[in-house]
Amino acid sequence: MIISIETSTSDLSITLLNEKSVFSHMSISYNNELSEIIVPTIKTFSKDNSISFGNISFLAVGCGPGSFTGIRSIISTAIGITISNSNIKSIGVNSLAGLAMSVLHEAKDLNLKYILSCIDSKKDDLFLQLFKINDIKTKSSPFFAISDIEIVKVENLHSFFVINNISSKDVLFIGHQSNIAKNIIENLNVSKNLTQHPDSLGVGKLASCIISNKISINKTTLAFDKFKPIYARSAQINLK
């Protein structure tokens, strides 16, 4: 059984799933009180689903980029959970990759080659990363990153497409300011997903895919076997 948690934006979301099915999902908005509500919310979620940490094999957490407070709070909590429960293995997930995973089937149905994930940086620009869908039908990663995490203003998206030598018609855009991006970039496919921000469902499905396909986590840039924050801004990297 897998529990996945995502707090990279202004929502706290939790999902309970295994390699075949999603059993439960919840999402609530938070302001500045995340550190106060995160543990009680996880406990309530577990009680409502009649599970304990003893039933959980993997804890998957969205590690950013995104809200510095959200990332720091969930990673501290997740480390505490795994230290107290030796049966639980850690999977830290790139939140941009989790967001891409949430629209993978949509991109495949549209026969697109790429997914462009964007997260609100809260500073009038985007955390952005480009993924190429893996069309090899073997037990491998569903997609792989072909760009580093970048910080881009939405009005400068044209330059991003030029630098990466990709056509907008081959890309599915998911994330913050999607409507503006659609108006700026001609022929851009924008996801119809109602959730345009990172969510534990995408994080959990990516973790489930990694587990079921026995993918070597640390050989990807999508996830890792420990909880470590992904801060895209150098100023944040130095914060203690």
Give the position of tokens 């991006």. 181
Q: Note whether 39 and 13 are same-domain residues.
A: yes
Q: Note whether 120 and 177 are same-domain residues.
A: yes
Tell me the CATH number at 103: 3.30.420
Q: Note whether 88 and 201 are same-domain residues.
A: yes
Given this model, what pLDDT does residue 235 score? 45
Q: Note whether 46 and 131 are same-domain residues.
A: no
Question: End of a domain among 190, 214, 229?
Answer: 190
Low-confidence ranges of the chain (pLDDT < 70): 137-139, 234-240
Given this model, what pLDDT does residue 70 score? 92
Q: Note whether 90 and 104 are same-domain residues.
A: no
- Strand (E) or helix (H) holding 33: none
Domain range enclosing 108? 96-190
Tell me the CATH number at 43: 3.30.420.40
Q: Note whether 79 and 102 are same-domain residues.
A: no
3-state DSSP call for residue 73? helix
Q: Note whether 66 and 105 are same-domain residues.
A: no
Does the pTM of the predicted model rise above 0.85?
A: yes
Given this model, what pLDDT does residue 238 score? 44
Q: Note whether 174 and 225 are same-domain residues.
A: no
- Strand (E) or helix (H) holding 22: strand 22-29
CA distance 37 to 33: 6
Q: Note whether 155 and 109 are same-domain residues.
A: yes
Those residues with Cβ within 8 angstroms of residue 112's Cβ, 6 or more apart along the chain or in another chain = 133, 170, 171, 172, 189
Q: Note whether 24 and 136 are same-domain residues.
A: no
Describe the chain by its helix, strand, coil percentages, rounded to 5. 35, 25, 40
Q: Please give the tally of structural domains in the chain.
A: 2
Question: End of a domain among 190, 208, 226?
Answer: 190
Given this model, what pLDDT does residue 234 score? 58
CA distance 22 to 220: 24
Given this model, what pLDDT does residue 220 score? 77
Given this model, what pLDDT does residue 139 score? 67
Q: Note whether 180 and 214 are same-domain residues.
A: no
Q: Note whether 43 and 8 are same-domain residues.
A: yes
